[in-house]
Chain A
Amino acid sequence: MQEMVRLERLTKRFGDVRAVEEVSFSVGRGEVLGFLGPNGAGKSTTMRMLTGYLLPTSGTAKVMGFDVVERAREVKKRIGYLPEGAPLYADMSPLALLRFVGGMRGLEGKELERKIARAIELTSLEEVAHRPIDTLSKGFRRRVGLAQAILHDPPVLVLDEPTDGLDPNQKHEVRKLIKAMSAEKAIIVSTHILEEVDAVCDRAVIIARGRIVADATPEELERRAPNHNAVRVTIDRERAEEAATALRTLNTVREVRRVEEVDGVATLLVLPTNGADIGATVSQLLHARGIRVERFAVERGRLDEVFRALTANAAT
């Protein structure tokens, strides 16, 4: 995989505020990187350094081999950037804005019109293309911001909360668009929505208080969840205590919790030791004792729990 973006110990301080501290990671062609972190973690600041809006205090970042400070113009040519909140010239129409951005990117004539048509189509802006941006809804504005970022079909896309403020259908469309473009590009997407990481990202970097606390695939992150591979079984209430005691004797089981009791049935949450795969063992044990299982589910572990665990640690 060709490396397209590389950050090395990138650091930004605003006076005493350490917004970004020695952040290093790289993104390759065909990769969608989810950039996560709580509010104020330093996501936008990192993206701003990458796109040349802010200068790093120390450390380096390279885009397609060009240093973001030394060769800012070369870098900017190769990046499509959606800033946080999608700031746009409110008095312009989407079409006029795209013409302006295209002009700034050295596009003109037929090629410019062709690229504008393509960007408008990809972001479904046809019906509002001629209306002033300040009369558009938040969702449409976000899409104008996105259209502007993909206009020149850049090899690197940096999108700061691209789905913020979109309705579920629009979110889905934007994710589909990101997925569709990802094959040839390196894409960095910041988000607060963890399901988005599952839906579009190949990798997630989590930062908290300016520092990276995790850099892994979504699956790897899920594995770190406290209830990854936990088994949830619903059985006859009469036999719940017996089953719990028996399950506790297994050395692959860390803990058994009785989580719910309704209408003569009880639900047990069986937590494995070190995330071991205990589904089959639990099922066999219950079967051997002749305990009828009403419902049986293996949990994957939820990203938001991992997120909370990782970012809460950094806060202390």
Chain B
Amino acid sequence: MDVVRTVMRRELAAYFATPLAYVFIVIFLALAGAFTFFVGGFFERGQADLESFFVFHPWLYLFLVPAVAMRLWAEERRTGTIELLLTLPASTFEIVLGKFLAAWIFTGIALALTFPFWIIVNYLGEPDNGVILASYLGSWAIAGAFIAIGACASALTKNQVIAFVLGAAICFLFLMSGVDLVLAAFKPWAPPVVVDIVASFSLLTHFNELMKGVVSAATAVYLVTLVACCLIVNTLIVELEKAA
């Protein structure tokens, strides 16, 4: 566990070592605000809740989170530091986990910095803070799933741009798999079970549940499984490159 923490601390420090982290946070806050007020019609809705704020998160994350995750492995490979890292006495999984946690915490920090929205709704009315908390957790969980996916993409290449595009594309598929457009592609030929499975992969469906304040076991299991699978795949990718 010490190793995981050491890796995590280094990665987190690396985020803040460049202006990129601050740029990212500013962009995230600016976009979150813009969407909430202009697109979501926060004031016009006349309701004391943060739905118009959270509803855009998956779409923001689609572009921003792969950008956070893209450097995790690709950068190590490009600069050769991966050789230093992988010859230290740690298991590959510990390193994978440490990197994932660092990126996830980083998105958590960005998310936490949206607290003024919460203050505003509480000032304007009496929102259901339980629902807001569930939404925050849901939002952070989606970010975690995207980080785990983005980290896998990053492990596949030494080019951060490729890592970003690949990561965003896979995240998009996971996000959209519950949407009619995607399901329509399966319905004509696949048995209903398969269609249901594909639909249940959808992050969006689960996120909508969370936004309503419903934290179901199915959602929790789904998210934990998704992240765990990605971490394992990430570990395998790194291990396989050793055997190249």
Quick check: A83 and B80 within 8 Å, CB to CB? yes
Chain A residues, Cβ within 8 Å of B169: none
Complexed CA–CA distance, A91 and B89 (Å): 22
Contacts A89-B10, A91-B18, A92-B17 known; list 18 others, CB within 8 Å: A53-B86, A54-B242, A73-B91, A76-B88, A83-B80, A83-B84, A85-B80, A87-B80, A87-B82, A87-B84, A88-B84, A89-B81, A92-B10, A100-B6, A103-B2, A104-B7, A106-B2, A148-B84
| Residue B194 lies at the interface, judged by CB distance under 8 Å to chain A | no
Partner of B242, one of A55, A85, A91: A55
Question: Which of A92, A96, A104 meets B88, CB within 8 Å?
Answer: A104
B90 at the interface (CB under 8 A from A): yes
How far, in Å, is A177 (CB) from chain B's closest CB?
Answer: 20
A59 to B: closest C-beta gap in Å: 14
When each residue 1-34 of chain B gets 1 if its CB lies under 8 Å from chain A and 0 otherwise, what string results? Answer: 0110011011001100110000000000000000
With A55-B243, A89-B81, A90-B79 known to touch, is A105 a contact of B86 (CB < 8 Å)?
Answer: no
Question: Chain A binding site: helix, strand, loop or mixed by DSSP?
Answer: loop
Which of A77, A83, A92, A96 sits near B89, CB closer than 8 Å?
Answer: A77
Which residues on the B side are within 8 Å of A101 (C-beta)?
Answer: 84, 88
In the bound complex, CA of A52 to CA of B14 (Å): 25
Nearest Cβ distance between residue B230 and chain A, in whole angstroms? 23
B83 at the interface (CB under 8 A from A): yes
B80 touches A105 (CB 8 A): no
A-B contact pairs, 25 of them (CB 8 A): A14-B244, A48-B83, A52-B87, A53-B83, A53-B87, A54-B243, A55-B243, A76-B89, A83-B84, A83-B87, A87-B79, A87-B82, A87-B83, A89-B14, A89-B81, A91-B17, A91-B18, A92-B17, A96-B13, A101-B84, A101-B88, A103-B6, A105-B89, A106-B89, A108-B2
A residues near B244, Cβ cutoff 8 Å: 14, 54
Residue of B nearest to A81 (CB): B87
C-alpha spacing A90/B244, complex, angstroms: 27
Contact A104 B83 (CB under 8 A): no
- For B87, the chain A residues whose CB sits under 8 A away are 51-53, 76, 79, 81, 83
Residues of chain B contacted by A73 (CB below 8 angstroms): 89-91
Q: Which residues of B have CB within 8 Å of A103?
A: 2-3, 6, 9
B80 in contact with A104 (CB, 8 Å):
no
When chains A and B are docked, how far (Å) is the Cα of A62 from the Cα of B2? 27
Residues on B with beta carbons closer than 8 Å to the beta carbon of A76 = 87-90
Residue of B7, B17, B89, B91 ringed by the most chain A CB atoms within 10 A = B89
Expressed in whole angstroms, the Cα–Cα distance for A201 and B110 within the complex equals 54
Nearest CB of A to B18, in Å: 7
Could you say which of A54, A87, A108 contacts B81, with CB atoms under 8 Å apart?
A87
Instruction: Note all chain B residues with C-beta closer than 8 A to A96.
Output: 13
Q: Which residue of B lies closest to A82 (CB)?
A: B84
Query: Which A residues touch B242, using CB under 8 A?
Result: 53-55
CB distance from A200 to the nearest CB of B (A): 23
Interface residues of B in 75-106 (CB under 8 A from A): 79-84, 86-91
* Cα of A90 to Cα of B76 in the assembled complex, Å: 11
Query: In the complex the two chains form, is A88's CB within 8 Å of B89's CB?
Result: no
- State the CA gap A304–B149 with chains docked (Å): 52
Task: Kindly identify which residue among B3, B13, B83, B243 contacts A83, using a CB–CB cutoff of 8 Å.
Answer: B83
Which residue of A has the minimal Cβ distance to B243?
A55
| A residues near B84, Cβ cutoff 8 Å | 81, 83, 87-88, 101, 148
Partner of A105, one of B7, B82, B88, B91: B88
Which among B6, B9, B84 has the highest number of chain A CB atoms within 10 Å?
B84
Q: State the CA gap A32–B20 with chains docked (Å).
A: 45
Q: How far is the CA of A108 from the CA of B9 in the complex (A)?
A: 14
Shortest A67–chain B CB gap in Å is 15
Q: Do B81 and A88 touch across chains, with their CB atoms under 8 A apart?
A: yes
Are A104 and B90 in contact (CB-based, < 8 A)? yes
Shortest Cβ distance from B6 into A: residue: A103
User: Within 8 Å CB of B79, what residues of A?
Assistant: 87, 89-90
A89's nearest neighbour on chain B, judged by CB, is B81
Contacts of B86 in A (CB 8 A): 52-53
List of A residues within 8 angstroms of B82 by Cβ: 87
- A96-B6 Cα distance, complex, nearest whole Å: 12
Chain A residues with CB under 8 A of B9: 100, 103
What sequence of 0s and 1s flags, for each residue 132-176 of chain B, a beta carbon within 8 Å of any chain A beta carbon? 000000000000000000000000000000000000000000000
